[in-house]
Structure 1
Amino acid sequence: MYFAAICRDKPGALQLRLDTRPAHVEHLNALNANGVLKIAGPLLAEDGKPFGSLLIFECADLAEAKAVAAADPYAKAGLFETVEITPWNWTFNPPEAR
């Protein structure tokens, strides 16, 4: 089952995001190698600066998706003001249709 994680940074936390990014990317690379991560990228403000993240995971259930999100170095560093994790239906262009 797929899950979308929509994470919004705390105000004024851009430097924390930049400082934590190498560990975050390493974490995402491991999830990708294990087939858990399907899509990931920053949410961008009009000025092009990141203010959050959007990630799509494939997990057995919501509890596993929450655990995956909580293990992210951004989450551990306290970057996020809010994190919403919800089941998601990959309707258009799912990988199994390619």
Structure 2
Amino acid sequence: MPYMAYCLDKAGALEIRMANRPKHVEYLTSYNDKLLFAGPLLDEKEAMIGSLLVLDVADRAEMDKFLANDPYAKAGLFRSVSVHGVKKAFPK
């Protein structure tokens, strides 16, 4: 089942994001078979303020495990993470 994670960075955490980005990208690459979408959230000035991740995983527990092991999470980048199951409706 697909799950999405909406992750918002702590204020002033761009340095944490950039320092951990190579490990984060490597980690995402290891999930290429389950990763449907991943990218940074941007503010009105196109500065990175968070992440949006969508994975097709077996269950919420697998999504939680993925998120807990993300180098960004381990570095304490996020101030909040919301996870929801999703269903693709369009395009068909």
Both structures adopt the same fold (TM-score exceeding 0.5) = yes
What is the rounded CA distance, in whole Å, between the counterparts of 2:51 and 2:25 in structure 1?
A: 12
5+ long unaligned stretches in structure 2: none
Q: Is residue 2:64 matched to residue 1:69?
A: no
How many residues were matched structurally? 92
Shift of 1:91: 1.4
Match of 1:58 in 2: 56
5+ long unaligned stretches in structure 1: none
What is the rounded CA distance, in whole Å, between the counterparts of 1:90 and 1:77 in structure 2?
A: 31
Shift of 1:69: 1.1
- 1:10-49 alignment runs, 5 A limit: 10-32=10-32, 35-49=33-47
Superposed CA deviations along residues 19-38 of structure 1, whole A, max 9, x for unmatched, are 10000000011111xx1111
What is the rounded CA distance, in whole Å, between the counterparts of 2:59 and 2:46 in structure 1?
A: 33
Superposed CA deviations along residues 3-60 of structure 1, whole A, max 9, x for unmatched, are 000000000001100110000000011111xx11110000001111100000001111
Shift of 1:63: 0.8
What is the rounded CA distance, in whole Å, between the counterparts of 1:91 and 1:73 in structure 2?
A: 31
Match of 1:8 in 2: 8
TM-score normalized by the length of structure 2: 0.96
Q: Which runs of 4+ in 1 moved over 2 A?
A: none
Structure with greater helix percent: 1
Match of 1:90 in 2: 88
Work out the percentage of aligned pairs sharing the same amino acid.
47
What is the rounded CA distance, in whole Å, between the counterparts of 1:75 and 1:24 in structure 2?
A: 9
